[in-house]
Amino acid sequence: MPEETAQTPPRTHTHNAEAKALHGSLTLPLRHVIQPQAQLHLDPTGKYHSVPAKNFRAEGVVSYTSAYSQVSGNRDPKHNGWTTLSSVVVEDLNILEVVTADRVVAQIIADHPAVGYVPEISFLGTRFDNLRIAGHPVDVALDLNLFGKPEKDIHYTKKDGPFLRGLREHYKHLWHGKELPADALKSKVSTMNADILEHESLTFSLVSQIDCHSEIRFPPLPGTCAGHTIHIPHFGTVTFANVTVHQEEFVDGVPHKTTVELTMVDANFGCVVGGDLTAAYAKTNGTSVP
């Protein structure tokens, strides 16, 4: 009798995504926890979910007129893999009448391959519209193509891999000749320079440049720009477009799970108001078997 051979089980994928418009914690002048607003979690089987939110205000510290989050996961008919989306939009964001924006968009698209495990990551659509600091217009340029297309399942945090090489060049340009004030460095907001090492987790920024306009009708920007960070006296420190990538479940040097988180506004207060605030947060990951 011919020898029986075991059939390879069909490949399956478990989706995972999260989105939320706002959350934080205030410690001064009052204690107040800002619960996650417009928060969504994607069903492991995928599908599509969305939730709107309107007219939010937390005391006089932060407000927005509207927001919405959406998450989705589906089979990619073109490449026979899986696509996961996490997206959140915050409109008319206002933090202490100092940091304002008409629109803040955080969006992550993760394409998991039909063969292999390391997803291709895109931030297409991510942006700030009319960001201002104390009424002063600020253009935040973002490099939405930092991840690029993974090569042969080479993980993003691999030492001397293509992703880390590109990230080193990105930070050499971003931080060239720039330093934060000493009091800003004491804040909880972590910064990063070009000395990037191999880690299973890595935090960096999509920001490639912050341009502060010097139009005559506006006063000088009341703060110090350095890299992806603005330190504002009597307010605190704000960082923009922070990304964390975490890879785990390694098999023969290949991570079977990649998690990507994007936070568009991360404020650490250091004035009459104390605490932390996060606006426009998106997250994706997922696993394929076998």
pLDDT recorded at residue 4: 45
- Of 117, 110, 173, 165, the closest CA to residue 141 belongs to 173
| Contact (CB, 8 A) for 221 and 136 | yes
The burial class, CB within 10 Å (0-12 / 13-18 / 19+), for 39 is: middle
The structural domains of the chain, with segments of one domain joined by +, span 12-289
Q: Name the residue type at position 42.
A: L
pLDDT in tens, 20-42: 999 999 898 878 899 999 999 99
**What mean pLDDT do residues 72-99 have?**
94
pLDDT recorded at residue 155: 84
pLDDT in tens, 151-196: 888 888 887 788 888 888 887 777 665 554 444 444 333 444 434 4
**What would the two tokens of residue 195 be?**
């000395």
Q: Name the residue type at position 4.
A: E
Which pLDDT band, with edges at 50, 70 and 90, does 126 fall under? very high
pLDDT in tens, 187-242: 333 444 434 444 578 888 999 988 876 554 456 778 888 888 999 988 999 999 99
**What mean pLDDT do residues 51-72 have?**
94
**b vs e for 252-290, b when ≥16 Cβ sit within 10 Å of the residue's Cβ?**
eeebbbbbbbbbbbbbbbbeebbbbbbbbbbbbbbbbee
- The Cα 152–Cα 136 span in angstroms is 45
**Does pLDDT of 16 surpass 60?**
yes
**Does pLDDT of 6 surpass 60?**
no
- The Cα 194–Cα 202 span in angstroms is 13
**What mean pLDDT do residues 126-152 have?**
91
pLDDT recorded at residue 187: 38
